[in-house]
Amino acid sequence: MTYQSVNPYDGQLLKTFDELTDNQLETALVTADTCFKSWRHSTFSERAAVAVKAAAIMRSHVDDYARLVTLEMGKRIEEARSEVALSADIIDYYAKNSERFLASQDLKPTSGEAEVESVPFGVLFGVQPWNFPYYQLARFAAPNLMAGNVVMVKHAGSVPQCALAFERLWLEAGAPTGAYTNLFISYDHVNRVIDDPRIKGVALTGSGDAGQSVAGRAGQNLKKSTMELGGSDAFIVLEDADLEKTVKWAVWGKMNNTGQSCVAAKRFIVVEKLADRFLEKFKTALTALKPGDPMDKATTLAPLSSEAALVKLLDQVTRAVASGASVVMGGGRVDRPGAFMQPTILADIQPGNPAFREEFFGPVALFFRVKNEDEAVALANDSDFGLGGSVFTQDVARGKRVASRVDTGMMFVNQPTWTLPELPFGGIKNSGYGRELSSMGIHEFVNKKLVRVASIDALM
Ligand code: NAP
């Protein structure tokens, strides 16, 4: 059964859901396509009224929405509440700004007139991951619905209750049936949906393997796609960093969402002058985290999203150690029921070690000691990923210079990479292509259509 809620805190099976049949999928596609034909002609203020209501519903039922996240994928309840608030902020942001973002652009040609209109593509298909069960959906749905597109979403199999809650949200907010459609479908059906001529664009957030499959299929169909894939963000500590503040951010950057974030700090690259002191303080802070029920506000270490995620991470650690890495702390599962991983630091990772290139999706920090800034930048860039990254220094101008030298889609100075509605989000290299959020996110799936009014006679 692909679509099932299992509580990773105690392994209890909560609910299962059937996949759509061929006929049900066809009905959903017809409904979405029909909806687009009218939704595309709705005004920005009509769409914004729906979006503002959706955001308000999320805020007024924050506990209900948050509880489902914690139940299905184990996120600490306060983090789940923050995710609900952030999702509502994203929806509000596009309600407020989309008309301005998509206003026709006058090209001011040398003669006659020319402008670029932004016209919705049609029905879009999104494939989304479990790690931020609402935020990922909001990031895809809000700009595209506001642009006049309609969306169909295959959410991850492990968060079906969140998937249904988010679909219900749009109906409760007054969106017409078919504007937002949740699809419980198999991978075969994912391919079928991408092939369907009614689908005009495809967006995936997930792993590189899923990206290759979904982007490949979209490419075969000559359909535009965006890919938000994995990362192995560098967390660079220069010798003039404020150590106390930096260690606090290191803990947050590694442990937010129990490390299960594409932009979690994954490679800690510390200049040798601070390396020993940083490592000692980082270790002490991670040791203080206490596993417990993620529904309990006092818990500081949550389980991973599933037993399978834990097994995968443990296997990565075992292979890293077999290839020469040393365990500074942790390295195993927590001796208690549930999918709990010990906060872990690995060091002595050489370029031939598989850990040097892999993404560790959980509370495992890879620690590297470097001589200076140049070595830090070179190591940060020696990665197949290019999503986010951060640099810590008390000299902001220096931080910005280092940020410019690191090849990623996002660099932060004195904070690990994070997200806000108004900041573009996305990567390069194996971290994917395209951008979500900000004004850039809403331009991905609109036709930039030139309308030219000539003022000359026919050319001979
Ligand atoms: P995943 O296994 O790739 O799953 C993501 C989504 O793709 C799920 O809905 C999954 O469905 C589906 N999927 C997987 N393989 C597929 C295939 N061959 N054909 C069709 N659909 C397929 O990734 P995950 O483990 O859920 O999420 C973690 C990954 O996402 C990490 O690599 C993380 O860095 C990345 N991520 C990136 C961003 C970003 O913005 N760049 C944000 C969040 C996460 P099932 O659940 O049914 O398998």
| DSSP-assigned states of every residue in 155-200 | --TT-HHHHHHHHHHHHHTTPPTTSEEE----HHHHHHHHH-TTEE
In order along its 460 residues, the chain shows pLDDT tens digits of 689 999 999 999 999 999 999 999 999 999 999 999 999 999 999 999 999 999 999 999 999 999 999 999 999 999 999 999 999 999 999 999 999 999 999 999 999 999 999 999 999 999 999 999 999 999 999 999 999 999 999 999 999 999 999 999 999 999 999 999 999 999 999 999 999 999 999 999 999 999 999 999 999 999 999 999 999 999 999 999 999 999 999 999 999 999 999 999 999 999 999 999 999 999 999 999 999 999 999 999 999 999 999 999 999 999 999 999 999 999 999 999 999 999 999 999 999 999 999 999 999 999 999 999 999 999 999 999 999 999 999 999 999 999 999 999 999 999 999 999 999 999 999 999 999 999 999 999 999 999 999 988 898 7
Confirm or reject: Cβ of 413 under 6 Å from ligand 1: no
SS3 helix, strand, coil % of the chain, rounded to 5? 45, 20, 35
Rounded to the nearest integer, the mean pLDDT of the chain is 98
- Nearest CA to 414 out of 231, 242, 239 is that of 242
Q: Whose CA is nearest to atom 21 of ligand 1?
A: 187
Domain boundary assignment for the chain = 3-229+431-451, 233-413
Residue 314 structure tokens: 């443990």
- Residue 1's pLDDT is 64
Given the CA of residue 206, which atom of ligand 1 is nearest to it?
A: 30
CA of 266 to the centre of ligand 1 (A): 18
Tell me what pLDDT residue 460 has: 78
Ligand 1 site, residue 226, Cβ cutoff 6 A: no
Q: How many CA atoms lie within 13 A of 83 on its CB side?
A: 28
CB of 381 closer than 8 Å to CB of 402 = no
Computed on alpha carbons and rounded to an integer, the radius of gyration of the chain in Å comes to 23
Q: For residues 306 and 381, give the distance between their C-alpha atoms in angstroms, rounded to a whole number.
A: 31
Is residue 205 within 6 Å of ligand 1 at its C-beta?
A: yes
- CA 155 – ligand 1 centroid, Å: 9
Compute the distance from residue 205 Cα to the ligand 1 centre, in Å.
6
Domain 3-229+431-451, CATH: 3.40.605.10
- Residue located nearest, by CA, to atom 13 of ligand 1: 210
190 lines ligand 1 (CB under 6 A): yes
Nearest to residue 177, comparing CAs of 51, 32, 47? Answer: 32
Q: Look at the alpha carbons of 124, 129, 134, 138 in this order and tell me if their dihedral is positive or negative.
A: negative
Give the pLDDT confidence score for residue 185 in this predicted structure. Answer: 98
C-alpha of residue 255 to centroid of ligand 1, in Å: 20
Whether ligand 1 lies within 6 angstroms of the CB of 206 is answered as: yes
Residue 459 has a pLDDT of 83
Q: How many residues does the chain have?
A: 460
User: Does CATH place domain 233-413 in 3.30.470.10?
Assistant: no
- β-pair partners for 119: 447
Active-site residue list: 228, 262
Interatomic CA distance for residues 67 and 448, integer angstroms: 41
DSSP type of residue 354: G
Task: Return the ligand 1 atom nearest residue 309 CA.
Answer: 25
d(CA 364, CA 279): 14
20 alpha-carbon distance from chain centroid: 26
Distance 240 CA to ligand 1 centre (A): 38
| Nearest atom of ligand 1 to the alpha carbon of 263 | 34
Cα-based distances in Å from 449 to 106, 114, 116, 178, 436: 12, 10, 5, 26, 21
Residue 54 φ then ψ, to 5°: -60, -45
Which residue lies with its CA nearest to atom 23 of ligand 1?
A: 206
What crossing angle do the helices spanning 44-60 and 62-73 adopt, rounded to 10°?
A: 70
CA–chain centroid gap for 223, Å, is 22
Cβ of 128 closer than 6 Å to ligand 1, yes or no, is yes
Closest alpha carbon to 426 in 412, 414, 436: 436
- pLDDT at position 455: 84
- Whether the CB of 94 sits within 6 Å of ligand 1: no
Structure tokens at 162: 């969140």
User: Can you read off the two tokens belonging to residue 281?
Assistant: 């303080």
Q: Which CA distances in Å does 78 have to 5, 120, 288, 399?
A: 20, 37, 19, 31
Choose among 44, 65, 11, 27: nearest CA to 185.
27
User: Is the CB of 167 within 6 Å of ligand 1?
Assistant: no
Cβ atoms of 168 and 180 closer than 8 Å:
no
The CB of 2 under 6 Å from ligand 1? The reply is yes
pLDDT digits (tens, 9 = 90+) for 274-321: 999 999 999 999 999 999 999 999 999 999 999 999 999 999 999 999
Per the structure block, which two tokens stand in for 379? 């190591």
Query: Which of 16, 72, 205 has the most ligand 1 atoms within 8 A of CB, as the residue to mutate?
Result: 205
